[in-house]
Amino acid sequence: MTTYVVIESITPNQSIVFSADQGPQGAVGATGPTGPVGTTGTTGATGVTGATGVTGATGPTGPVGATGTTGATGVTGATGVTGATGTTGATGTTGATGVTGATGPVGATGPTGVTGAIGATGPVGATGATGPAVSLSTVFPVALGTASAGVATLGSKDDHVHPTTGVGLTANPLSQFTATTSAQLAGILTDKTGTGLLVFGTSPTIATPVISSPKISSTYSAKTAAYTFISGDEGNTFSMNNAASVQFNIPTDSTFNFAVGTELNVFWITGVGQPTIGAVTPATTTVISTGATSATPKLRVANSGATCKKIAADSWIIFGDLA
């Protein structure tokens, strides 16, 4: 309950005081319903665009400035030191002997000299005793298979016949003899080393050799497209430079049967494309590596490299800087 007091002055010295008590507050009436929303007014029309003003005339081109003076030529840098001289390459094989030129014409016969005077005939000497028969000559005859008719002395190289076959000469090379094996040839050599078969220079297969102070070089080949290794690539190095990701391909043994232990070296020299390494026929040739995809590893970054090594028939391992 609230009490209200009202003081009203009736004279300068008198006032009337009224007091009253306020009764209890009545209940709040219910909220009336919300009135309807008014409709949105229409959008006013867009005003027209004013016309574009004309383009002003282009001002005249200013004069070309004078050409500046040419700067002084810089001093020439010091000459770099000369690099070390590379090792001398192996001596190439001797070329075949050229054909013999035609024989020149015979010169004119000189004039016959004056015949000298005949000397006096000396006295005939006494006949000597007949000596014993001599052995046949051991020197070569005038020509193989021939003898000079009418030669009376047994000591002459014209008096006997040498055989025309079984003689090793330039005109009769070793091919005239029966085929010779490596073992037979080794049996007559006194300065050989090792055993086995005779070895020639192109693509030999040598078992467990011991090589003292070897100097081994390999061929380098720069590739710009996908490349499949071929016979003769053994031990060589290949680089790849391509804008797309292309592959170094390992063929099946039925295409090129590289020997077990063969190594092929690859690296990514430059280019956006990240090279991969894999088999031409994955169902036939097995490739393993530490790459994210074991059968088709990628070279990790530019200038990274890897080695492909054959470990069994149609089986290769790739190791190096892989991704």
pLDDT of residue 152: 45
Query: pLDDT by residue (tens digit) across 299-323?
Result: 999 999 999 999 999 999 999 999 9
Is the pLDDT reported for residue 177 higher than 80? no
Helical spans, DSSP H, in the chain? 182-188
**Angle at CA of residue 319, ends 315 and 320, nearest 5°:** 155
Q: State how far the Cα of 280 lies from the Cα of 249, in Å rounded to an integer.
A: 5
Neighbours of 289 (CB within 10 A): 21
Confidence of residue 20 (pLDDT cuts 50, 70, 90): low
What residue spans of 163-270 are helical by DSSP H?
182-188
Give the gyration radius of the chain's Cα atoms. 57
Please report, for residues 180, 201, 210, 289, the alpha-carbon distance to residue 191 in angstroms, rounded to integers and kept in the order given: 18, 19, 17, 47
In this predicted model, what pLDDT tens digit does every residue of 245-288 receive, in sequence order?
999 999 999 999 999 999 999 999 989 999 999 999 999 999 99
Q: Is the full-model pTM beyond 0.75?
A: no
Predicted pLDDT of residue 150 = 46
Rounded CA separation 310/263 (Å): 7
Q: How many Cβ atoms are within 10 Å of 316's Cβ, its own excluded?
A: 21
What proportion of the chain, given as a percentage, has pLDDT over 90?
A: 32
Residue 142's pLDDT band (cuts 50, 70, 90):
very low
- At 186 the three-state DSSP class reads helix
Q: Which residue has the tokens 């894999």?
A: 278
Residues 6+ apart with CB under 8 A from 120: none
How do residues 188-229 score in pLDDT, each as one tens digit?
888 878 888 888 777 787 877 777 777 777 899 999 999 999
- Helix then strand then coil, in percent of the chain rounded to 5, is 5, 20, 75
Q: Which residues contact 279 (CB under 8 A, 6 or more apart)?
A: 249, 250, 252, 285, 286, 287, 295, 316
Is 223:241 a contact under the CB 8 Å cutoff? yes
Tokens of 152: 């009376």
The pLDDT of residue 159 is above 60: no
Share of the chain above pLDDT 70, in %: 77
Instruction: Report the distance separating Cα 112 and Cα 133, nearest Å.
Output: 43
CA distance 180 to 197: 12
- Count other C-beta atoms under 10 Å from residue 178's C-beta: 5
Q: What are phi and psi of 8, to 5 degrees?
A: -125, 125
Mean pLDDT score of the chain, rounded to an integer?
79
Residue 261 CA to residue 191 CA, distance in Å, equals: 31
- Residue 239, pLDDT > 80, answer yes
